[in-house]
Structure 1
Amino acid sequence: MSKIKISAESYAEFKECVAVLFPLVMPQINLPIEKHPLSVLSAMEVSSPANARAGLAMALNDLIQGSFLISSDQIKEIDTLLASKGLFTLTKLRYLYSDKIQKIVRRGIISNDVEYYLLKNIVDSGVCENSPRETLEKMLDNYEFKG
C-alpha cells in the first residue's frame, strides 16, 4: 500500500486505529461523547458512508500529524498495542501518510479538503523546514483562493 486509502472494506480497521490512537495521541482533548470522533463517524455512517470515510481519513490524518509530537518510546508502545490488535502500526500509518504528502506536493495542487487539512496541519505544526514550508503555504493559498 502506497497511501492511506479508506475503502468500504478497510473502513472498520482504520476506525479501530482511530479508537486506539485518539486517547494516546491526543489525551489532552476531552470532548463530550456526542462530539467524540467515533460518535460523529457512527452518525455519519448511517446518513452517508462516503462522508464517513472522508471524515475518518481526516481524523486519521490529524492523529498521525499529532503523533509527530510524541517520543519514539511512546511510538514503540503504541505500535505494540496496535499490532497486538491486528491493526496497522503507527509507524506504518506514518509511512503511508508521508507518501501521501509527497504525492500531493509532487502534483503541486491540493485536490480536496482532506488534502488541504493534511498540509495545513503540517504547516501549522512547524515540523517542516523553510523551503518546503513555503511550497506548502503557496499550495494552501491557491486552494483557499480557488474555494
Structure 2
Amino acid sequence: MITHKDLTARAKEQHPDAIHVSVDNFMNSPRYQEVIDGLQTGKTNDEQRVTAKVEKVIFACDAGMGSSAMGASMLKDKFKKAGIEGVDVSNTAVSAIPDDVDLVITHKDLTARAKEKQPDAEHISVDNFLNSPKYNDLVERLKNQS
C-alpha cells in the first residue's frame, strides 16, 4: 500500500497486515523503484530493509535520556567487541528521531509511535532495552554487511 507520509499511520491502522510504503511526493518518489524491485524479487518491503546497509542506529524512549541511553551504551559495547565499525549508535526521544536514521530500536510499547515518526526506517521492538536476544541477531547481521 503506497500512501502519503501524513496518512501512513491511518493506513496501517486500517490495514495492519499490508506492506506499507510511505512517500513524500506521489509524482516523484525514489521509493517506487524499491517497490518494483520488491515485486520482481518476491521480497517484501521489510525483507529489503533487513538487507540494507545500516549506518545509523537510534534507541528511542519517551524522554530520550534514561533507558534508551543505557540501551545505546550496551549496543555500542557489543559492536565494539564484535569489531563492528562505521555504525553510529545514539539515543533520543521518540519525538526527535532524526530523518537520516536507518534503524530504530524502541520498547514494544513505543514502536507504533516511532514508526509513525519515521515510517521508512527499519524498526526493532524489544521487551527490555538491556536484555534482548534481538541485539545478538543484529550484531551477527552487521558483522556480515558489506
For Structure 1 versus Structure 2, the TM-score category normalised by the shorter chain is: under 0.3
Higher relative contact order (CA 8 A, sep 6+): 1
TM norm structure 2: 0.26
